Amino acid sequence: MFVDVHCHLSFPEFDHDREKVIARLTEEQVTVLIDPGINVATSKKSIELAWEYDFIFANVGLHPHEASDQVNEGIFEELEALAKSPKVVAIGEIGLDYHYPDCNRQAQKDAFRRMLSIARTLDMAVVIHCRDAWEDMLQILTEENHSAMRGAMHCFSGDTGIARECIRKGFKLSIPGTVTYKNSQLPEVIRTVSLADLLTETDAPYLSPVPHRGKRNEPSFVPIVTANIALIRGIPLLEAAKGIAQNTFDLFRLSAP
């Protein structure tokens, strides 16, 4: 019924109780979970976890924080090889993050373009991380655009104008627990766009929704995100959950469970 399209369940934060976390998400009717890699090592772990459970899938990616002058073609070739696993449904987490002043913007841009190229070659969706970099992000997507480009704006944080532009370029907006935070602009975005443009995620172990803010996030909390979307749009929870699940199946080319 519920879907978590971005959850780092393979991260060390869950090593001590991962089976209990999985039991809780099952109890909360989370039927699809996608675990994204952020480099070669974590992408391998995502795939390993995905093979253990039918309802878990993996992404292969290179997070902008991992982009540096030391990233070489061999890394991209290894990521492309990993992406050919039957359990991998997208290229991501990739993108741009200018939040920290010492970031290497050019290395991020180069890595992002290279990962977009891999996605195009493999005809896969992309999952994009963007923080404090919308102008460059949208410019690169314009330059790298192609007829089959599609994907998700992970942990979407833009305003309604940016939302419309992302949707126009073939992307869905992935809504995290920040929708529950005071002063969040996500409610206005959610009211403005179509339900067909929305996905749900936790980004666990980060960004826990209210009332769990400040604690470790986990996928069993994704129904809180869905319930907030339903409330904002003024529709039944079941309608929101079914619509978002269908969006997930369509984008990542998954069969309904």
Q: Residues 137-160: pLDDT tens digits? A: 999 999 999 999 999 999 999 999
The predicted pLDDT at position 115 comes to 98
Domain region containing 87? 2-252
What confidence tier does 69 reach under pLDDT thresholds 50, 70, 90?
A: confident
Specify if 170 maps to a domain: yes
158: domain CATH number is: 3.20.20.140
Count up the domains in the chain and report the number.
Answer: 1
Residues 107-127: what's their mean pLDDT?
Answer: 98
How sure is the predictor about 45, in pLDDT bands with cuts at 50, 70 and 90? Answer: very high
172 beta partners: 152
Q: pLDDT confidence of 44, banded at 50, 70, 90?
A: very high
What's the confidence (pLDDT) of residue 257? 74
What does the angle CA 112 – CA 54 – CA 117 come to, to the nearest 5 degrees?
A: 15
Q: Residue 187: inside a domain, yes or no?
A: yes
Listing DSSP states for 15-45 in one string gives TTTHHHHHHHHHHTTEEEEEEE-SSHHHHHH
Residue 257 lies inside a defined structural domain of this protein: no
Buried b (16+ CB within 10 A) or exposed e, 19-46: eebbeebeebebbbbbbbbbbbebbbbb
Residue 234 has pLDDT above 80, yes or no: yes
Angle between helices 134-143 and 160-168 (to 10 degrees): 20
